[in-house]
Amino acid sequence: MINSKELIKYTKSLNILFVEDHDELRENTADILSSFFKNVVTAEDGKKALEIYLDYSKNDINYFDIILSDIQMPQLNGVELTKKVYEINPKQIVIILSAYDESKYLLPLVNLGIEQFIKKPIDYQELLSVLLNASKKITQPSKKNSDIDYINIQIDRNFTFNKEDSSLFDKNQNIYLTKYEIIFLQLLTSSVGKIYSNEDIVENYNSKNESIDPQNIRKLVSKLRKKLPENTLESIYGIGYKITPYFAS
């Protein structure tokens, strides 16, 4: 369970734009968000959200720290909104709410590089956990491990993956990795926190003159999880996989 005091520590100075066309859900969720964030602004559809986003950036010469948006909305849906926002600010953190598992709805957003998906109906503990990680990224930029130039990727407090020699360490103990596990970890740590689809994974193996059947990816993930700390290799249902960013407490 998320510790409210820890969450407020990272969110109290941040502004969030929440986009949801269902009135009751929008109001109830905004009430919860207002307990943590400095400023919560809501919009009932993507078109209104884009107008608010543009006005906000003009007035404050800044951007919202986080956008939390539904995917299926009138006027402008979540995919279209995200594309337009990234044209304005490619570094914008966007979290998407979706009642859909189908890749045709979500893969375009994976390719855009959104922060996270949260499945509807909303599990508020999951939502707060995602917001905590996103807020830490914003308030602790020096501890963000997503830079591809970093040699040592901190997976958790004790586990480190060295990208230069493709070695995995638990403290000072080397963890044996197969060639296919190394290729998989190299991809996921090239941008920690990014979701990689099965198509991305297959293409990456092909680029290294190796092949992997999409049906065998799940088996590979299952074996690799036994070598990694719990909950660090995350599967996003129907979409793909990512390494969860580690932040020192």
11-20, 105-114, 188-197, 199-208: range with lowest mean pLDDT = 105-114
First to last CA, the chain: 16
Q: Which two tokens stand for residue 71?
A: 């995917």
Q: Cα Rg for the chain, rounded, in angstroms?
A: 19
Q: What is the pLDDT of residue 144?
A: 42
Does the pLDDT value for residue 142 go beyond 50? Answer: no
Quick check: 66 and 96 in contact, CB under 8 A?
no
**Pairwise CA distance, residues 13 & 16, whole Å:** 10
Q: Provide, rounded to the nearest whole percent, the portion of the chain with pLDDT above 90.
A: 44
Does the pLDDT value for residue 129 go beyond 80? Answer: yes
Closest Cα partner for 30 from 98, 94, 122, 132? 122
Q: Tell me the per-residue pLDDT of 7-57, one tens digit each, with 9 for 90 and over.
A: 999 999 999 999 999 999 999 999 999 999 999 999 999 999 999 999 887
Quick check: 172 and 183 in contact, CB under 8 A?
no
Q: State the pLDDT confidence band at 115, using cuts at 50, 70 and 90.
A: low
Length of the chain: 249
**Residue 235: is it exposed, middle or buried by C-beta count within 10 angstroms (0-12/13-18/19+)?**
middle
Closest Cα partner for 190 from 130, 117, 228, 241? 241
Q: Give me the domains of the chain, ranges plus CATH numbers.
A: 4-139 (3.40.50.2300), 143-243 (1.10.10.10)
* Cα angle 6, 20, 90; round to 5: 70
Q: Provide, rounded to the nearest whole percent, the portion of the chain with pLDDT above 70.
A: 88
Mean pLDDT computed over 80-85:
92
Mean pLDDT score across all residues of the chain: 86
